Chains A and B, each alone.
Chain A
Amino acid sequence: MKTRTRNILIYMLLILWGIIVLFPFYWMILTSVKSYGSYNGEYVPKFFTLSPTFENYVTAFTAVPLAKYFFNTFIFTVVTTAIMMVVVVLSAFAFARLDFKGKDILFSLFLSLMMIPNELVIITNFVTITNLNLRNTFLGLILPSVTSVFYIYLLKENFEQIPENLYKAAKVDGTSDFRYLTKVMLPISRPTLITITILKVIECWNSYVWPRLITDDQNYFLVSNGIQEIRENGFGRENVPAMMAAVVVISVPLVVLFLVFRHKIMEGVARGGTKG
């Protein structure tokens, strides 16, 4: 009996937190399908709607360049992640597999850079990018975030776990270092590579601070800046349902990605992720 009440209590608490988590999502979808008139007519907002409408979604895409923001974010995410993967893989490979003078010192230097918060370097980067006339360009958006010491570290550790004998076996068979990298190291480290990619995609999709600093031209806004712009100037400020439609559209890609790769993502974050 005692365990049963205990269990009920546990489930109630878990459900309560579940509601707290899900309610904003429900509310944004609900609001996004309410018409402008009915939303503003409800002094006490209704928890459901009997006449869902998709006109807000149309407004979201027509009244503000939401599609453009989307496209920008997509380009930014894909290019940044791709370049970063190349940079990270090459460095991790050099640290894990190649011998060269000054390797240990250089690696310690790399590691010590992990302690530097972004806030400290962003000031000069802003100035650098401005001076290079790269504001409001993709280059300016992408360049500062194509290296990550943490991911180099993560991948290097992973590479080093590959048994030394595989390398020797490949050497005896006349495999070049680069073929060994592409044919053996990368396939074996696939889980880590996927983890890094996913984490980076999430980071890119949600990045706000740097894009805000570096772009003031709407043509280069990412979704985060777009949403902020919509909030302050879009839809005549008070069209909340249209705003929510935009929010839904922006949230959908990552939520879908998450639901598909649920276990991979959670595993990956548990291994090496922090928010932001």
Chain B
Amino acid sequence: MKKNLTAWLCLLPAILFLGVFMVYPLIDVFVYSFEEGYNFASQSFWSVGFYNYSYVLHDPFFIQALKNTFIIVIITVPLSTGIALLISLELSSIKALRDLFQTIYFLPYVTNTLAVGLVFMILFKKTAYSDGLISILIQLFGGPSVDFIDGPYWAKMFVMCFYTIWIVMPFKILILTSALASVNPMYYKAAQVDNTPKWRIFYKITLPMISPMVFYLVITGFIGAFKAYSDEVALFGTDLNAAGMNTIVGYVYDMLYGNSGGYPSYASAAALILFAIVFTITTINLMVSRKTVYYQ
């Protein structure tokens, strides 16, 4: 009995905080999303239904955000995973300077996304004084002058994806190098004795061995990319709708707060739509992984 009491006392803070800031909001977000015409000031609403969902799904800003998010996901997840795999393979095949490279590659992980985003903006932005370093480099090779920050959509999307990949790479490289390091060298030796060609070693031994980690990265990559937001703010400022670069999460926050804010019902509906999408994609990922991933 005394033991019961101590245990519950130890758990009390966690239960309290989780209850107030996790469980209650979880229920509340559903409630909000069905309350039509909710008014923040008077905390009243007129009816219950699916209007909020319908509003969000017909909102051009949301459609734009949805489109942007999907483009970011489709481009950055495979690309970053692929490049990270390539770099990790190279990293594990060398000895000299390996530690130095690993340290450098990890740097973006510990930097403030907003702060470094500003540097990227400077590099890509066209101002009255300068076309921006990257644009000048392109011109050097005979390309057109492009403003990546306030210019055409594809240019903005390019910077966006580039920065996203730059930000997510450290984690992926780290996970993959440690996965590669944990493959028992015995297998490579065995393969060598059998005179297996290098590409075959990669496809038949290395890849299956690290496949659980690759899939872990794909799954977390999808989830992370669907929640993209602060990278966008870092590059294009807080008014993402004006820049046409909003994401679903950005849309949620804008609905909640910011220039068009004060609509927690719309925000909740949008957040739940996002959750449904992420949930579906993750489930599909897991189903695929169960078929293809080799678990020891």
List A residues at the B interface (Cβ < 8 Å). Answer: 7, 10-11, 13-14, 17-18, 20-22, 24-25, 27-28, 31, 40-45, 86-88, 90-91, 93-95, 98-101, 103, 106, 110, 113, 116-117, 119-128, 143-144, 146-147, 149, 152, 177, 202, 205-206, 208-209, 212-213, 223-224, 227-228, 231-232, 238, 240, 243-244, 246-247, 250-251, 254-255, 257-259, 262, 265-266, 269-270, 273-276
State whether B122 touches A270 (Cβ < 8 A).
no
CA distance A147 to B256 in the complex (A): 24
Known interface pairs A206-B112, A247-B116, A275-B171; A120-B105 also in contact (CB < 8 Å): no
Q: How far is the CA of A86 from the CA of B21 in the complex (A)?
A: 18
Distance from B116 Cβ to chain A, minimum over Cβ atoms (Å): 6
Q: Are A106 and B11 in touch, CB under 8 angstroms?
A: yes
Nearest Cβ in chain B — how far from A154, in angstroms? 14
In the complex the two chains form, what is the Cα distance from A88 to B11 in whole Å? 9
B36 to chain A, nearest CB (A): 16
Number of residues on chain B facing chain A (CB within 8 A): 87
User: Given A18-B104, A120-B275: A27 and B119 within 8 A (CB)?
Assistant: yes
* CA–CA, A122 and B107, complex, Å: 29
Q: Smallest Cβ distance from B233 to chain A, in angstroms? A: 7
Residue of B with least CB distance to A13: B90
Which among B7, B26, B118 is the interface contact of A120 at CB below 8 angstroms?
B26
Contact A232 B238 (CB under 8 A): yes
- B10 close to A27 (CB less than 8 A): no
Distance (Å) between the CB of A77 and the closest chain B CB?
12
> Cα distance A90–B93 when bound, in Å?
44
Within 8 A of A (CB), among B107-126: 107-116, 118-123
Ordered nearest first, which 3 A-B pairs have the shortest CB separation?
A124-B25, A121-B25, A100-B7
Chain A residues, CB < 8 A from B271: 119-120, 123
Closest to B248 in A: A119
* Chain B hits for A209, CB < 8 A: 229-230, 253
Task: State the Cβ distance, A119 to closest chain B Cβ, in Å.
Answer: 5
Establish whether residues A247 and B115, one from each chain, have CB atoms under 8 Å apart when the complex forms: yes
Q: Quote the shortest CB–CB distance from A219 to chain B (angstroms).
A: 19
Least Cβ–Cβ distance between B104 and chain A, in angstroms: 5
Cβ A87 vs Cβ B14 within 8 A: yes
- Residues of A near B257 (CB, < 8 A) are 126, 213
State whether A265 touches B130 (Cβ < 8 A). Answer: no
Is B272 in the interface zone, CB < 8 Å from A?
A: yes
Interface centre among A87, A123, A270 (most CB of B within 10 A): A123
Which residues of A sit under 8 angstroms from B17, Cβ to Cβ? Answer: 87, 143-144, 146-147
Residues of chain B within 8 A of A266, CB atoms compared: 102, 106, 174
- Minimum distance in angstroms from A257 CB to a CB of chain B: 7
In the complex the two chains form, is A24's CB within 8 Å of B114's CB? no
- The contact string, 1 if C-beta is below 8 Å from chain A, for chain B 165-201, is 0111101001100100000000000000000000000
Number of CB contacts from chain A to chain B under 8 A? 257
Assembled-state Cα–Cα distance A254/B275 (Å):
32
A275 touches B136 (CB 8 A): no
Q: Is the CB of B20 within 8 A of A22?
A: no
Q: With A13-B87, A14-B101, A266-B174 in contact, do A24 and B25 touch (Cβ < 8 Å)?
A: no
Partner of A91, one of B14, B28, B136, B275: B14
Docked-complex contact A227 and B115, CB < 8 angstroms: yes
Give Cα distance in the complex from A223 to B113, angstroms: 11
**Which of B86, B108, B115 is the one whose CB lies under 8 Å from A250?**
B115
Closest to A101 in B: B4
Query: Is B103 interfacial (CB 8 A cutoff)?
Result: yes
Does B178 lie within 8 Å of A22, measured CB to CB?
A: no
CA distance A116 to B122 in the complex (A): 36
Q: Which residue of B lies closest to A87 (CB)?
A: B13
Contact A21 B104, beta carbon cutoff 8 Å: yes
Closest B residue to A10 by beta carbon equals B90
State A88–B108 Cα separation when bound (angstroms): 28
Measured CA separation A258–B170 after assembly (Å) = 13
24 example contacts (A-B, Cβ-Cβ < 8 A) are as follows: A10-B94, A11-B97, A14-B94, A24-B166, A27-B123, A27-B133, A43-B130, A44-B136, A45-B136, A91-B13, A94-B10, A100-B4, A117-B274, A123-B32, A124-B25, A208-B114, A244-B118, A247-B116, A255-B111, A258-B106, A266-B106, A269-B109, A269-B171, A270-B174
